[in-house]
Amino acid sequence: MPTSTMTHDPHQPRGLPRIVIIGAGFGGLEVVRGLNLAPAVVTVIDKTNHNLFQPLLYQVATAALAPSDIAVPVRSLFTDMPRVGTLMGEVTGVDTDNKLVHVKGVPDIPYDHLVLATGSVYSWFGHDDWARHAFTLKTLDQALALRSSLLAAFEWAESRTDPDEIRRLLTFVIVGGGPTGVEMAGAIAELAHATLARDFRRIRPNSARIVLCEGGPSLLAGFPDKLSAYARHHLEDLGVEVKTGAQVETVDRDGVVAGGERIFAANVLWAAGTAATPVAAWVGAETGKGNGIKIDEHCAVPGLDGVYAVGDCTYMEDAAGHRLPGVAPVAKQQGAHVAKVLMQRLIGEPLPQPFRYDDQGQLAMVGRSAAVADLGGRVKMTGLVGWLLWSVVHLFFLIGARNRITVYLNWVWAWLTYGRGARLITAIDPQVRRDFAHLDEIAAHRPVLPPAA
């Protein structure tokens, strides 16, 4: 751990309060936007150099979009904000007594105010050993690894003669029936049954088996029953096997055991639940369900001077005593509120009213020209209308005019032709070790496809 402290930046005014934000996701960026005119020096720390629009990450994993379509360099967002600096690095801890952030390989970073916006990770519910046999979907690297594995499954199947091996390669299991699981199941079904249908000579991609396993009684928990039923019906029309009440008992190199049934599959996607990143241990904060940091009505961490937290790494309840969901709107609204709190503190004004989440509804894509939308109250949409609303909302919140235009044109082209232009196989992420050919473990630098004979 570094023992030195980062010196003063000669390009920044001396004496200004120092605000450090850990995480450049939805919540972290919203804090920065609200502090644009603040009399303070702001430092944003993230382990990557880009901001990622996670709601469309599944489309990268299924070859509908390229990585650059849904991500932008963090530095490019702050070009016109001279008091905002960025640092790509891995935070290893926080010294709240001396107000220092420890970053791997660099001197400690001092702060006067600290905002934790580190997001969430997938939870394996006590079965961490399952992680080596399943994909998750939180980062671009994971999306690209999954994309390569999905596409390579068809390539490997084309060269196989054993019917059982072909069947295993062309079986895809998604664990978790929330929005990510539903969207992935529909996208894989359309990829197999439409996009790839005419590309192969020996196999029939439209014979691929896509299985969606949900431990609860219905898909899209939290959505109205009518919308959940619509999503299930549409997925089944696409050829997806929907298994509700199917608790996963095992995830291994052969596939999964769910609801007492062994499903042999070369590709398993885990989308069954999340937990906060272990940021609470950095600051010694009290946690709630899902390991989220408990925060007060102004998103401050009780007992820690100048420390705030927003987004998926937090635990906050609504007026009814229910935990706020781990979704982008919560992170954005909390981020905006923390920015107001900090601004008021900096200028010596009274604090704003306590934070209250404004639930504007929820959306989920089910497939081509089909989505479900619950806008709260009596407004519910399905089908083409829901899909159009889903598309408009996602384009609106996507960062960057170039990305909006590119994504829109890709969607139009895909809708007209069923084509997907990002069907490239690259090296599998070495951290996602997959037994693809069922022959041996894929080594860190082994390509997805075997070398030519």
In the chain the first and final C-alpha atoms are separated, in Å, by: 49
Question: Is the separation of the CB atoms in 263 and 256 below 8 Å?
Answer: yes
User: CA-CA distance, 73 to 75, in Å (whole number)?
Assistant: 6
Burial of 15 (0-12, 13-18, 19+ CB in 10 A): exposed
Tally the residues of the chain: 453
Burial of 216 (0-12, 13-18, 19+ CB in 10 A): middle
Q: Mutual orientation of helices 401-417 and 383-397 as an angle, nearest 10°? A: 150
Residue 82 in tokens: 């001279």
Active site residue 183: yes
Question: Is the separation of the CB atoms in 349 and 296 below 8 Å?
Answer: no
Three-state secondary-structure class, residue 360: coil
Which residue is catalytic, options 90, 155, 158, 183? 183
Rama region for 154: left / alpha / beta (φ>0; ψ in -120 to 50; rest): alpha
Strand ranges across the sheet with 109-110: 91-95, 100-103, 109-110
CB within 8 Å of 347: residues ≥ 6 apart: 39
Side chain identity at 128, as an amino acid letter? D
DSSP 131: G
Side chain identity at 259, as an amino acid letter? G
Nearest to residue 58, comparing CAs of 367, 375, 330, 331?
A: 367
Q: Provide the CA 152 distance to its chain's centre, in angstroms.
A: 23
Which residues of 139-282 form beta strands (DSSP E)?
171-175, 209-214, 240-244, 248-252, 255-258, 261-264, 267-270, 274-276
CB within 8 Å of 287: residues ≥ 6 apart: 276, 280, 293, 294, 315
User: CA-CA distance, 214 to 298, in Å (whole number)?
Assistant: 36
User: CA-CA distance, 193 to 212, in Å (whole number)?
Assistant: 16
Q: Which residues are annotated as catalytic?
A: 183
